[in-house]
Every structure is written in C-alpha cells, then in structure tokens.
Structure 1
Amino acid sequence: MPAYNEGKYLRESVVKTKKELSRIPHEIIIINDGSSDDTESIAIELSRKYRNVKVVSYTKNRGKGYALRKGFQHSTGEFIVFLDSDLDIPPSQVHRFISALNNGYDVAIGSKYIPGARVNYTFKRWLFSTAYRNLVKVLLSLDVSDTQVGLKAFKRHVLENVFPRITVKRYAFDVELLTVISMYGYSIVEIPVKIEHKVYNSSINWRAIARMFLDTMAVYYRKNVLHYYNGGIHEDSLAQLEGYRAPRGGGR
C-alpha cells in the first residue's frame, strides 16, 4: 500500500483489507512516501497493533513507482498485490485478483473499460483518461485496456525479473511496468473494477500531465529506439537519456 498524505483513510483501509484477507496468510506493507501529514504515525500505530503489518518510510516524496519497488523489497509472499490506500478501490475486490493468479495467470490488473466495471468520473478526468489510454496503445502497442487502476496482482517471479529494468518512479510507472511484462511474454488478465471516488477534483494538473507525457515518451524511446528492455542498451546511453529528463516537479 503506497501512501502519500493518506492519514485520513489509512487506518480504515488497512482494517478493511485485513478483514477481507483474514482467511488466508498475508502481510500488509505500508509505504509512507514522504508524507507531511500523520500518515507515518498512523502506519506505525497499525504495525504495533497487527503483527503482519509492516511499515517502510522515508522523508522525501519520490512517487508511487519508487514506493511500490521499496515495498516489494520488504515483501515475502509469492503473490504480490498493489493496492492504493485511499479506499477509492474497495479491498473486497482483491480476492478476484488472487483467484486469477491461482488459476494460472502471471498478472491480474484492474480495468475501468471492460464490461462489469463501475466508475464515476468527472468529464475532464474521463477525457484525460481516454486520451492517455489511446496514446499508450498507439505508442507502445500495449494490448491492455487500462494501465492506471491502483489494484494489480503479480506472481513474485514476474516482479523479480521485471523490476531491474524499470526506470520510471512517478507518472508513467504503471505503463512502463506493464510494457516490460508484456514484452517478456507473461500472461495478463484484466478484471473489471469498482472505483468509488471520494473527492472529485475538477481541476487538471497540467504540469503532471506534461510530465506523464514526457515519461511515456521516454518509455517509447527506451523500447523502440534504445531497445533497453531487451538488454540492448549500454549504461552510458541510459545515463545520457536520464540527463535529458525534465526537472522533477510536484507530487505523483
């Protein structure tokens, strides 16, 4: 569970997730991604109350991708589930993702665009989501309907093999991760999700959108020009690419 300033919902999120997983062995790893609110103290409180809740914490906000990689480094399970901590995605849906892995799939990802999904979006958010979805399909030939849902499940060996090639830590992390997983031939199943947004923000962070576009173009460049994901790039070439990245900005 990556958490950036999620003190308002974190306690409820962990309690509900534990209840859903009570019949199977599990651990919950909360990654405090440089929060400035009470996220860290609540996470520590939960780890003291529940022996299978762990906390990974650092002071600087580094982005969702960085947080998930740090969480994975502290995990022990054979099935790894990424779940946002803001309760927009009810944890009651996790069982369907675990079942998909038990049924032979390597990866299960949530989708807003397949039959059975239930999502309420503002028009601006829907417009941006649809545009970005089409951009990913055109640029990366990624055969999934949705890359951005904050509920995904993986067999451990998939992430062990793929994470060493992942470079994006913020905006296009999910796109890069699924691009490499697809290139490596792992089986992916999409599962319809229910998303319950608690706060509707009609404004659009254009700076974040610009950075997401740049990060996505960088994934395209690594895949199709440098062939980095195939192991065809030298470290000095990657260093040059890193040097042309836009300056860091804002939150995730």
Structure 2
Amino acid sequence: MAEPSPASGASNKPERLPAVSVLIPGKNEAENLPELIEEIRVALGARTFEIIVIDDGSDDDTPAVVTALMRDRTWLRLVRHTASCGQSAAVRTGLLAARAPIVVTIDGDGQNDPAFMPKLIDALEAGGPRTAIAAGQRLKRTDSGAKRIASRFANWLRGAILKDGTRDSGCGLKAIRREVFLLLPYFDGWHRYLPALAIREGYAVTHIDVVDRNRRHGASKYGILDRGVAGALDLFGVWWLRRRRKRVPSPTEISLDG
C-alpha cells in the first residue's frame, strides 16, 4: 500500500507545544493590541509561546486587527465571545483554549508591562510544583485618585478577611500553572481571587512587584461603583469556600511493587 502523500496534509512530525500561553482578555482594545502583542513577543523571545486574544464581544475593529496580525504570526490566536461576558469569563475561555503548562494573564489595555513576564515565569518555576501562582503587584499606580483609594480599601478588606498575602488582587499580570488553574471553582469575578483560591487547594503563591503604565488609547471599561455589591458577595463567597475546606488531602498511591 502506498504511503500517504505529504500533500494530503498528513504529517509525521509531532506539533511542538508552547511552553507559555499568554491570555489577553479585552473588549474594544483594537488600538492597544498591536503594540501590546509586539511587546509580548519581544519579552518572551527566549521561550516558545502562544498568545491568545480573547475578544469579549467587541464592537470595534478588534477581530479585523487581530486576524490581520495572525497572517504572519503563527503563534497568535483569536477566540471571540459573540456577546460580552466579562473579564473572568474571558480569562476562563482563554485558559480552556491554552496549550501550555504555564499560563500568563495580562490586561488588554496596555497598562500592564509585558517586560515583567519573564520575572513572573522565573519566580513560578523557582517555587517548584507546589507554587501555583506568581502574581504581579503594582507600584506607582496610574489610575485616578478615586480609583486608587477604592482599590486600596478593597484590597485591604479582602486581605483582612482572606489572609492570602496579596496586596494587589486587581493586577492583571499573573503567571499560573494551568493544571492548578483548572482546579479552581469558577464564578464571575473569579480573576480577582485567584491567590486565595489557589491557597485553598493547598498551593503557595509568590508575588513580584511590577510597574503600571498609562493607558495609551481608549478609556477604561471598568468603573468604581458598578462592581461594589458584586465584589462584596464574591468576597463572602470566597471566605465561605475557604472555611468549608478544613484540610487538603495529600494522597499517596499504593502499588503492588512496594
């Protein structure tokens, strides 16, 4: 029987999976994405990677901009929500699509600096398999004064209740082990509680200081008051989840060989 022709599309070469999957959730960030994607490429140049843009129901040129970039960037992918589902849903969609064992999240507005990605990945790897997250914590915040005050209070309250050692839960820059990410219970607003949820599963979290930047184009899609009530309910819910897990099992499989 004749061997299949290479022209048929069959290949005996295994596909090389990336070492890092970068998730960019965002809505209406068409102006910010080209520069951000290039910055990520430069920052991760020493690693194999993929970048997944999760378009959360944009009504601007985001799909056209990203698909144009994909033509000569085989490592760039686009996943779309037909309607906006929120940042947590977008992060989860990217997580399920990711192919690498380490996932890095970054906001689509360009305020997070990709130059800190290698530090986060290195810190995660240095912590060993029981370190689940290397979380960025912003210095020199560039948000408005009112937003900084609201964020500072929310982080203080969350830290006092959850005791997760995280000063800045809202920073979009995080490096996470995908296998642990998949264990965490999902709910809208979940992306703000990842350290506490990872600790609940018995894993450690490490923190890296990062420097925030000014948004280059457009306006923030997130307000101060619109998530206050939901945030309070989420905080109570995560506290309840932590309380309901008294002990994390440490199982050992017993084999006949010993």
TM-score relative to the length of structure 2: 0.77
Structure 2 residue ranges without an equivalent (≥5): 1-23, 249-258
- The one-letter amino acid of 1:193's match is V
Q: Identify if the C-alpha distance between structure 1 residues 62 and 204 changes in structure 2 by more than 3 Å, giving closer, same or farther.
A: closer
Shift of 1:80: 0.7
- The one-letter amino acid of 2:132's match is D
Aligned to 1:237: none
Q: Is the 8 A contact 2:142 2:213 kept in 1?
A: yes
Q: How does 1:66-215 map to 2 (within 5 A)?
A: 66-104=89-127, 105-112=131-138, 117-162=139-184, 165-166=185-186, 168-169=187-188, 172-198=189-215, 205-215=224-234
- The one-letter amino acid of 1:209's match is G
Larger of the two Rg values belongs to structure: 2
Tell me the percent identity. 24
Q: How does 1:199-238 map to 2 (within 5 A)?
A: 205-224=224-243, 227=244
Shift of 1:118: 3.0
Q: Identify if the C-alpha distance between structure 1 residues 40 and 183 changes in structure 2 by more than 3 Å, giving closer, same or farther.
A: same
Q: How does 1:17-56 map to 2 (within 5 A)?
A: 17-56=40-79
Q: Identify if the C-alpha distance between structure 1 residues 186 and 228 changes in structure 2 by more than 3 Å, giving closer, same or farther.
A: closer
Shift of 1:200: 7.9
Shift of 1:193: 0.8
Shift of 1:174: 2.6
Shift of 1:28: 0.3
Once the two structures are superposed, residues 127-183 of structure 1 have per-residue CA deviations (whole angstroms, 9 ceiling, x without a partner) of: 101110111123223222221101000122211322xx22x22xx323332221011
Once the two structures are superposed, residues 5-55 of structure 1 have per-residue CA deviations (whole angstroms, 9 ceiling, x without a partner) of: 111101111111112212210000010011111112212222222101011
Aligned to 2:3: none
Q: Is the 8 A contact 1:3 1:39 kept in 2?
A: no
Mapped to 2, the partners of 1:92 and 1:193 lie a distance apart of 9
- The one-letter amino acid of 2:150's match is F
**Count of matched residue pairs:** 219
Mapped to 1, the partners of 2:37 and 2:112 lie a distance apart of 13
Q: Is the 8 A contact 2:136 2:171 kept in 1?
A: yes
SS of corresponding position for 2:32:
helix
SS of corresponding position for 2:161:
helix
SS of corresponding position for 1:139:
helix
SS of corresponding position for 1:8:
coil
- The one-letter amino acid of 1:208's match is R
- The one-letter amino acid of 1:211's match is A
Aligned to 1:249: none
- The one-letter amino acid of 1:67's match is A
- The one-letter amino acid of 2:112's match is I
Structure 1 residue ranges without an equivalent (≥5): 232-252
Q: Is the 8 A contact 2:135 2:207 kept in 1?
A: yes
- The one-letter amino acid of 2:225's match is W
Mapped to 2, the partners of 1:3 and 1:140 lie a distance apart of 28
TM-score relative to the length of structure 1: 0.79
- The one-letter amino acid of 2:37's match is V
Q: Which has the higher helix share?
A: 1
Q: Identify if the C-alpha distance between structure 1 residues 87 and 229 changes in structure 2 by more than 3 Å, giving closer, same or farther.
A: farther
Mapped to 1, the partners of 2:62 and 2:43 lie a distance apart of 22
Aligned to 2:252: none
Q: Identify if the C-alpha distance between structure 1 residues 229 and 65 changes in structure 2 by more than 3 Å, giving closer, same or farther.
A: farther
